[in-house]
Chain A
């Protein structure tokens, strides 16, 4: 085991942050050339928030919920509806017009994001009363159902003057700078880390480890499960709002179950119960998905068309990866530990040739 002293760690942390800043600055200098990369990074940061929020509930409290897409939709539509510039509204709601009470309401995007999270949290609080008493597998089904209901309500013709029904929303306010989504995501994740490190976080862990014992130690199961669900949904809602601002236009199709599965993949790959794992995996998965795009393009090797390579193949590869992780690497990248410089140092040391050579080759000579 290698233990770095705290000074080294501080230097490493500052250096890593500095390098990231420099890199961003460099990317921003030439937004045209780096636009694609910036987009991927932005999406990753937003997914990281949802993944950490999902982990807070699934990995830290032990409640298996699959309602993420629904809560994201609530946040996204709240932000969308409230930030489309008033003068652009007739253009957006060109089919059925916009509800008169909504016509002139436009608020600051930060307020809209907060409100989006709040509305998601209120929904969570209400349905939590009904479903948090269910056993874990039923909870997953119930939340999945909830997300689909939200999606169909948003797309229903009755909601046309508010959500623009199945036509979706356009001209949603974009981020002011490329730093905005990263800063907002970091703030959200930081707040969740604070919660997890507080006494409430320990109560969540206690519930995950053993409900009966947690209750016997004076931890009210319902209150704390409800709290975990509400917090998770709040940040999922905020992240949904960020996604709306990132995409600029959304419709109910954006928030299908597949979105929840994407997040689930990130959480599982990163490690249930590891915040840093979720963040790292969010970038790996979102980036990987883009770079795996070449599987979707026709491929010719020596003039022979490889028929596997066609649109959709990427998703097959991806699902196979998920299965491999679940079968052979169940703990994910980080297990339930957190990122630390000591961990990195030990990881590198293990792969250092000298480290191995000194230990010999196990006596299995050829």
Chain B
């Protein structure tokens, strides 16, 4: 898959502790351009936590994250954490780089949330427009005095085109929270796309969807990836979906990486079967 090219996203020896609780333990992984990579694992394995330190919501306790070759996030145990740190003492990172989530989004990563975080009281259209705000060229005075009509018009057209492309144009004037769950998930993806990312992180996009919506979602993700020229990294519990769309899979259990490989390899991996698939098969 990598053809000797450097990865787009590289997570290096990352540990994330909440006080004494180790949510992610010395985790390393790579995602290469144009891949769809899945992160799976039982509940509480630390998947969302991994997303959160990649996107700047949390600072990892230790470790580095590179995006497109440059160091994006780095931290080492500091202050009180020095005492609590339970990770590998040899892997302690030397740099400290902090970026806020908005800075990371500006680098070209966009995400959705496990517990849908739309701007609930706003219309679908305004949700998308708000996500385009970061690309605004005109300064505050231009925008506030409506001297940027051209740009505002272009933003609206782009937002409309994006919604049309995602099959959501007909709900554009609905209040986001009034729509069914499955649709809200798709709107969240559309909103993430409005930031014009090169890398998309999806946290359980199929959660709360009915079987039919889930089937459609697989095609939707593949098509979106092609249309927008994206690299996709997703967390998902729904095994059929994961096996269908992923190029490679990482498996977390109790914060540790227990396996990585192609869907076929993962399905046969005995650690994974023991930790995860046995349980999950019964459900799906």
Contact = CB atoms under 8 A, between A and B. Distances in A.
Interface of A: 191, 194-195, 197-200, 202-203, 205-206, 209-210, 212-221, 227, 336
Contact of B143 (A191, A200, A213, A217): A200
Contacts of B119: 205-206, 209-210, 213-214
A336 B123 CA distance: 13
Given A205-B119, A206-B119, A216-B55, A200 B102 contact: no
Nearest to B127: A206
Given A210-B120, A216-B101, A218-B195, A199 B146 contact: no
Contacts of B259: none
Contacts of A199: 129, 132-133, 136, 143, 152, 155
Interface of B: 55, 57, 100-103, 105-106, 110-111, 113, 117-122, 126, 129-136, 140, 143-146, 152, 155, 191-192, 194-195
Contacts of B130: 202-203, 205-206, 214, 217, 219
Contact of A194 (B102, B120, B135, B146): B146
Nearest to A231: B144
Contacts of B121: 205, 209, 336
Contact of A212 (B57, B135, B144): B57
6 contacts: A209-B120, A214-B130, A216-B102, A216-B105, A227-B140, A336-B121
Contacts of A200: 133, 140, 143-144
A97 B50 CA distance: 67
Contacts of B192: 217
A202 B133 contact: yes
B144 A213 contact: no
A15 to B, nearest CB: 26
B105 A217 contact: yes
Most interface-central of B111, B126, B131 (chain A CB within 10 A): B131
A273 to B, nearest CB: 8
B202 to A, nearest CB: 13
Contacts of A198: 143-144, 146, 152
Given A194-B144, A200-B144, A218 B131 contact: yes
Contacts of B117: 210, 212-213, 216
Contacts of B110: 216-217
Contacts of A191: 144
Nearest to B113: A213
- State the 5 A-B residue pairs at the shortest beta-carbon distance, nearest first: A218-B134, A209-B119, A213-B117, A218-B105, A206-B130
A213 B115 CA distance: 11
Nearest to A191: B144
A218 B102 contact: yes
Contact of A216 (B111, B133, B135): B111
Given A199-B133, A214-B119, 11 more contacts: A197-B146, A199-B129, A199-B152, A199-B155, A202-B122, A212-B57, A215-B105, A216-B117, A217-B194, A218-B134, A336-B121
